[in-house]
Structure 1
Amino acid sequence: MKQKTVACNLFILNRENFAKKLKSNSLAIFQSNDEFPRSGDQNFIFKQNADLFYLSGIDQEKTILLIFPDCPNPLYKEVLFLRQTDNHIKVWEGYKYTKEEALETSGISAIYWLEDFDAILQSVANYADHIYLNANENDRAVAEVPYRDLRFINEMKARFPLHHFERSAPIMRQLRVVKSEIEVKLTRQACNITRDAFIRVLKFVKPGVKEYEIEAEIIHEFVRQGATGHAYSPIIASGYNATILHYNDNSRVCKDGDVILFDFGAEYANYNADMSRSIPVNGKFTDRQAAVYQSVLHVMKESTKLLKPGTDWNAYHEQVGELMTEQLIKLKLLTTEQVKKQDSKIPAYKKYFMHGTSHHLGIDVHDFAGRYTPFAEGNILTVEPGIYIPEENLGIRLENDVLITANGIVDLMANIPLEIEEIEDIMNS
Structure 2
Amino acid sequence: MKYHPIDKSLFIQNRKNFAAQMKPNSLAVFNSNDIYPISGDSTMPFAQHRDIFYLSGVDQEESILVLFPDCPNPKHRELLFLKETNEHIAIWEGEKLTKEAAFNTSGIKTVYWLKDMEKIMFEMMTQCDTVYINTNEHYRANVETETREDRFTKWLKDRYPAHSVAKSNPILQRLRSVKDPLELDLMQQACNITEKGFRRILNFVKPGVWEYNIEAEFMHEFLNNRSKGFAYTPIIASGNNANVLHYVENNQECKAGDLILLDVGAEYANYASDMSRTIPVSGKFTKRQREVYDAVNRVKNDASKLLVPGTLWGEYHVEVGKLMTSELLGLGLLDKADVQNENPDWPAYKKYFMHGTSHHIGLDTHDYGILTEPMQANMVFTVEPAIYIPEEGFGIRLEDDLVIQENGEPFNLMRNIPIEAEEIEEIMNA
Work out the CA distance in 1 between the residues paired with 2:245 and 2:40.
Answer: 32
Question: What is the Cα deviation at residue 243 of structure 1?
Answer: 0.6
Q: What corresponds to 2:348 in structure 1? A: 348
Q: What corresponds to 1:137 in structure 2? A: 137
Question: What is the Cα deviation at residue 92 of structure 1?
Answer: 2.1
Structure 1, residues 254-289: CA drift from partner, whole Å, max 9, x if none? Answer: 000000000000100111110000000000000000
Q: What corresponds to 2:286 in structure 1? A: 286
Moved over 3 A (4+): none
Alignment-mate amino acid for residue 264 of structure 1 = V
Question: What is the Cα deviation at residue 298 of structure 1?
Answer: 0.5
Equivalent residues in 2 for 1:4-403, closer than 5 Å: 4-403=4-403
Structure 1, residues 385-429: CA drift from partner, whole Å, max 9, x if none? Answer: 000111111110000000001132111111010100100000000
Work out the CA distance in 2 between the residues paired with 1:152 and 1:98.
Answer: 23
Question: What is the Cα deviation at residue 88 of structure 1?
Answer: 3.1
SS at match of 2:152: helix
Work out the CA distance in 1 between the residues paired with 2:252 and 2:116.
Answer: 53
SS at match of 1:189: helix
Q: What corresponds to 2:417 in structure 1? A: 416
SS at match of 1:97: coil
Question: What is the Cα deviation at residue 145 of structure 1?
Answer: 1.6
Q: Any gaps of 5 or more consecutive residues in structure 1?
A: none
Question: What is the Cα deviation at residue 146 of structure 1?
Answer: 1.8
Work out the CA distance in 1 between the residues paired with 2:232 and 2:75.
Answer: 40
Question: What is the Cα deviation at residue 177 of structure 1?
Answer: 0.4
Work out the CA distance in 1 between the residues paired with 2:358 and 2:38.
Answer: 32
Work out the CA distance in 1 between the residues paired with 2:258 and 2:40.
Answer: 41
Work out the CA distance in 2 between the residues paired with 1:376 and 1:38.
Answer: 41
Work out the CA distance in 2 between the residues paired with 1:148 and 1:136.
Answer: 12
SS at match of 1:204: coil
Work out the CA distance in 2 between the residues paired with 1:407 and 1:187.
Answer: 21
TM value normalised by structure 2: 0.99
Structure 1, residues 175-227: CA drift from partner, whole Å, max 9, x if none? Answer: 00000100000000000010010000000000000000011100000000111
Alignment-mate amino acid for residue 410 of structure 1 = F
SS at match of 1:205: coil
TM value normalised by structure 1: 0.99
Question: What is the Cα deviation at residue 149 of structure 1?
Answer: 1.8
Work out the CA distance in 2 between the residues paired with 1:27 and 1:166.
Answer: 9
C-alpha RMSD of the superposition: 0.8
Instruction: Report if aligned partners of 2:312, 2:371 keep a CA contact under 8 Å in 1.
Output: no
Work out the CA distance in 1 between the residues paired with 2:43 and 2:348.
Answer: 45
Question: What is the Cα deviation at residue 86 of structure 1?
Answer: 2.6
Question: What is the Cα deviation at residue 34 of structure 1?
Answer: 1.6
Question: What is the Cα deviation at residue 91 of structure 1?
Answer: 2.4
SS at match of 1:71: coil
Work out the CA distance in 2 between the residues paired with 1:230 and 1:91.
Answer: 29
Structure 1, residues 89-113: CA drift from partner, whole Å, max 9, x if none? Answer: 2222112111111100000000111
Instruction: Report if aligned partners of 2:361, 2:367 keep a CA contact under 8 Å in 1.
Output: yes
Alignment-mate amino acid for residue 74 of structure 1 = P
Matched length: 429
Structure 1, residues 70-125: CA drift from partner, whole Å, max 9, x if none? Answer: 00111111110110123332222112111111100000000111111111100111
Percent of aligned positions with the same letter in both sequences?
A: 54
Question: What is the Cα deviation at residue 137 of structure 1?
Answer: 1.0
Instruction: Report if aligned partners of 2:138, 2:368 keep a CA contact under 8 Å in 1.
Output: yes
Work out the CA distance in 2 between the residues paired with 1:2 and 1:260.
Answer: 30
